[in-house]
Amino acid sequence: MNSMSSTVSAPRATHLVEQRLLRLRGEMAARDLDAFVSLKLVNTYYLSGFTSLDTARPTSYVRPIVVVVDEASACLIVPSLDEEPANQTSGIRDIRCYSTSPVVRAAQDLCGERLREVGARRVGVEEDSFTAVWAEFFRREHPDVQISLAGDAMKRLRLTKGEDEVALLREAGRLSDIAVAASLAAATPGATELEAETAGIVAFRKEASADEAAVVDCIPIIIGGPRGSMPHEFTSGRQLRSGEPMWHCWLTSYGGYWTENIRSGVVSPHDGQFEDVYKCLYEGLLAGQERARPGARAQDVFGAVMAELHKTTYPGAVVLTRSGHGMGLEYHEPPFMEASDDTELEPGMVLTVEPGIWIPGTGGLSLSNTIVIGQDESEILTNAELALHVER
């Protein structure tokens, strides 16, 4: 079992935060911004190192967490109930807490107070998190502040990962290999999708529990039979039947960083009818991974995958548009492996190569590996066995 710690020592966390804030200030200077107000939870985690509910399921968190960055300093705004963990994990030492309600207004007041202290007039925000409530607050309380939509600054910072981030992603990938192997092994005829998923969750959490500092999460999707042609469905209590295709998707995070690991199978006994489909899928995965190198573009990876997938001759088979996406603090983030994304791949970018072939009324087959773009070639972080058939 692995004993890697998911938390970075306090001096190291502070150093990482200082590096990230320095890079953000460079982006701010290029946009002539006096300050940057981050409201997006994964970004507040990235900028501060503060670990709380926002590191795993940010959409479940309802109290604002705010990072305010100016030309020389930064502050972290959190609810009082998070003061202790903020002091333990944040690389930003100026921590300001609110305890009154309504909570949004309480956080806004602290944010406004900080902006007045530094005399900020041009303030950058993330347009996907800056709500009408916040816009109205600035219009009413700070009419002299000019808001600039600058979410692309954070996207640029997070697009490539440092070695500290890649180390967490490697561990997430290792744990996902254990989970997918266990769920596939439990996918026997008559077993339910949920039973196979449970086997994977147990294996995943048992392995992670060897590390007392582990901060982990997982989102599994196990689907067999006709429902498998709908790639965004949920695991159900449906029984798996002999001869039908199935796919097992494991999104796993370690220290807040996510990997994706998808493997496909056919419930035994089988007659081999999906072998040609799987061959196209497998070749598409290999072609995409080979193309994912520095200097290539996201759309080039997409093209390499699609060239193989369109070779399938299975009646009714459908090939969907996207063939991968970036991974990191979010399990879908730039770049996107699609025809319209011309992002040039650089060392440190983390992405999935994710071919899928869907057969309405019959099921689906999919594969996905999470990879890190290196100087010369990619590093594959998810290494579970690539095989269609799970023999019994």
3-state secondary structure of 319: coil
173 lies in which domain range? 163-380
Domain final position from 157, 185, 218: 157
Q: Are strands 95-98 and 74-79 parallel, antiparallel or unpaired?
A: parallel
Token pair 């339910």 is found at: 192
**Same domain as 246, residue 354:** yes
Is there a single domain that holds both residue 304 and residue 340? yes
Structure tokens at 369: 């590996």
pLDDT at 57 > cutoff 70: no
How do 122-125 and 146-149 pair as beta strands? parallel
Strand, coil or helix: 120? coil
Q: Are residues 245 and 313 in the same domain?
A: yes
- Pick from 127, 138, 76, 147: nearest CA to 105: 138
Three-state SS at 248: strand
pLDDT of 7 strictly over 50: no
Helices (H), 67-218: 83-89, 103-118, 132-141, 151-159, 163-185, 193-208
Q: What is the pLDDT of residues 223-245, one digit of tens each?
A: 999 999 998 899 999 999 999 99
pLDDT per position as a tens digit, 173-188: 999 999 999 999 999 9
What is the DSSP-derived secondary structure letter of residue 53? G
CA distance 25 to 21: 6
Does the pLDDT value for residue 2 go beyond 60? no
Same domain? For 234 and 361 the reply is yes
Residue 45 lies in a domain: yes
Per the CB < 8 A criterion, the answer to whether 349 and 298 are in contact is no
- Flag whether 4 is in a domain: no
- The residue from 109, 126, 157 where one domain ends is 157
Report the predicted TM-score, pTM, of the whole model to 2 decimal places: 0.92
- Say whether 94 sits in a helix, a strand or coil: coil
More confident residue, 388 or 183: 183
User: Does any domain span residue 31?
Assistant: yes
Q: How many residues appear in the chain?
A: 392
| Strand partners of residue 147 | 123
Omega prior to 220 cis, within 30 of 0: no
What's residue 8's pLDDT? Answer: 39
Which pLDDT score, from 0 to 100, does residue 340 have?
A: 96
- 268 band by pLDDT with thresholds 50, 70 and 90: confident
Using the Cα atoms of residue 26, residue 27, residue 28 and residue 31 in order, give the sign of their dihedral.
positive
Query: Which of 157, 180, 198 is the last residue before a domain boundary?
Result: 157
- The pLDDT tens digits for 252-266 are 999 889 999 999 999
Together in a domain, 208 and 348: yes
Count of domains for the chain:
2
Q: Is the pLDDT of residue 67 over 70?
A: yes
pLDDT digits (tens, 9 = 90+) for 16-34: 999 999 999 999 999 999 9
